[in-house]
A and B are shown apart, each in its own frame.
Chain A
């Protein structure tokens, strides 16, 4: 082996050590006169570190929450991170939809996150349904709030149209309540046991 080839091999070993330490490794240059097998090895190594550099820069952006950084195309070293990027992009879209009140979307096959997210959307949807029911109920009750004009003798109530209605009819029309007629003991005594 020529001294230049031995030197190249040594650089290659150092570069691999740098990679294992998470450092960037420089592209290696082959001397003009070099064994073909060694040249092929160095070229393959250079391709690999170029892919690692690309992947590392993409993952760093991803880790900082930057989803706008496009995944490097044709880079299999970064493939699982591209999958993660796609999942995060989808979750970002889903969250945006929920923020706009769209509760029809669900997240599938993203492990525990799917369950938590879908439970949250269900809960929000249920909360909205409950609030709507509450608003509806309150709108019914509100009709019986405030001052209600009532005849001091016959107890009829004056409605918005200025006509007088039986107390039972008015309350039934303005609430969810209905009346069932009976006789209280005092009235029973007064009417039947004179």
Chain B
């Protein structure tokens, strides 16, 4: 389906005026409610399609969210070091997680980072399966919007596999432009 024929395409303004709409309940809610939505959605996608397709759809949604967040909440004109510091602050202030860089190669755009107290998975029962496909897409979307290059992001360690912190490796696809 071409872009023009899509019945709906997300825009940042679709998030609405939360201050106006929730003058009493405000801008925050329980993490459990967020997870309730994500994991029931995952469950339905798993059953309607397959675990592989569900993972891919969640990754794609995360990618779109990451790109929109980057373009609407981050200053993409900052140099890499400043951008990383800003990203760390924004993820923390939005209570998404505590991002920490472990390795970075600015030449080939290869980053290893961890997210502790992750919104999606920290505290989940240990199942032995990584569950952060949405996060993978989210991180990829942010880096792609910043650098203009597509990224491959894979979760190396996950809370749900007993690793206490989620570790991701994000690498720019060499030679490609988004």
Residues of A within 8 A of B (CB): 71, 73-76, 79-80, 82-83, 86-87, 89-90, 92-94, 97, 102, 104-106, 108-109
CB distance from B68 to the nearest CB of A (A): 24
Restricting to B74-97, which residues have a CB under 8 Å from any CB of A? 81-82, 84-85, 88, 92
**19 further A-B pairs in the complex, CB-CB below 8 A; given A82-B163, A89-B114, A90-B101:** A73-B161, A74-B161, A82-B164, A86-B102, A86-B114, A86-B164, A86-B167, A87-B100, A89-B103, A93-B100, A93-B102, A94-B101, A97-B81, A104-B81, A104-B82, A105-B101, A106-B88, A108-B98, A109-B116
| In the complex, B104 has a CB within 8 A of chain A | yes
Q: Is the CB of B162 within 8 A of A74?
A: yes
Closest 9 CB pairs of A and B: A90-B100, A89-B102, A76-B162, A104-B85, A102-B81, A83-B164, A79-B164, A86-B114, A86-B165
Identity of the chain B residue whose Cβ is nearest the Cβ of A76 in the assembled complex = B162
On chain A, the residues within 8 Å of B71 by CB distance are none
A-B contact pairs, 30 of them (CB 8 A): A71-B157, A73-B163, A76-B126, A76-B162, A79-B163, A79-B164, A80-B164, A82-B164, A82-B165, A86-B100, A86-B114, A86-B116, A89-B102, A89-B114, A90-B102, A90-B114, A93-B100, A93-B101, A93-B102, A93-B103, A93-B104, A94-B101, A97-B81, A104-B81, A105-B84, A105-B88, A105-B101, A106-B85, A108-B88, A109-B98
Interface of B is mostly: mixed
On chain A, the residues within 8 Å of B148 by CB distance are none
Residues of B within 8 A of A (CB): 81-82, 84-85, 88, 92, 98, 100-104, 112, 114, 116-117, 126, 128, 157, 161-165, 167
Q: Is the CB of B162 within 8 A of A79?
A: yes
Alpha-carbon gap, A87 to B165, bound state (A)? 10
Alpha-carbon gap, A67 to B157, bound state (A)? 16
Alpha-carbon gap, A105 to B82, bound state (A)? 8
Contacting A105 at CB < 8 Å: which of B85, B103, B116?
B85
CB distance from A50 to the nearest CB of B (A): 15
On chain A, the residues within 8 Å of B88 by CB distance are 105-106, 108
CB distance from B171 to the nearest CB of A (A): 16
Alpha-carbon gap, A93 to B162, bound state (A)? 24
On chain B, the residues within 8 Å of A109 by CB distance are 98, 116-117
Q: Is the CB of A74 within 8 A of B85?
A: no
Alpha-carbon gap, A90 to B112, bound state (A)? 10
Alpha-carbon gap, A92 to B104, bound state (A)? 11
Known contacts A76-B126, A105-B81, A105-B85, A71 near B163 by CB under 8 Å: yes
Alpha-carbon gap, A105 to B81, bound state (A)? 8
On chain A, the residues within 8 Å of B114 by CB distance are 86, 89-90
CB distance from A148 to the nearest CB of B (A): 43
Q: Is the CB of B81 within 8 A of A75?
A: no
On chain A, the residues within 8 Å of B112 by CB distance are 89
Alpha-carbon gap, A83 to B114, bound state (A)? 10
Alpha-carbon gap, A102 to B101, bound state (A)? 14
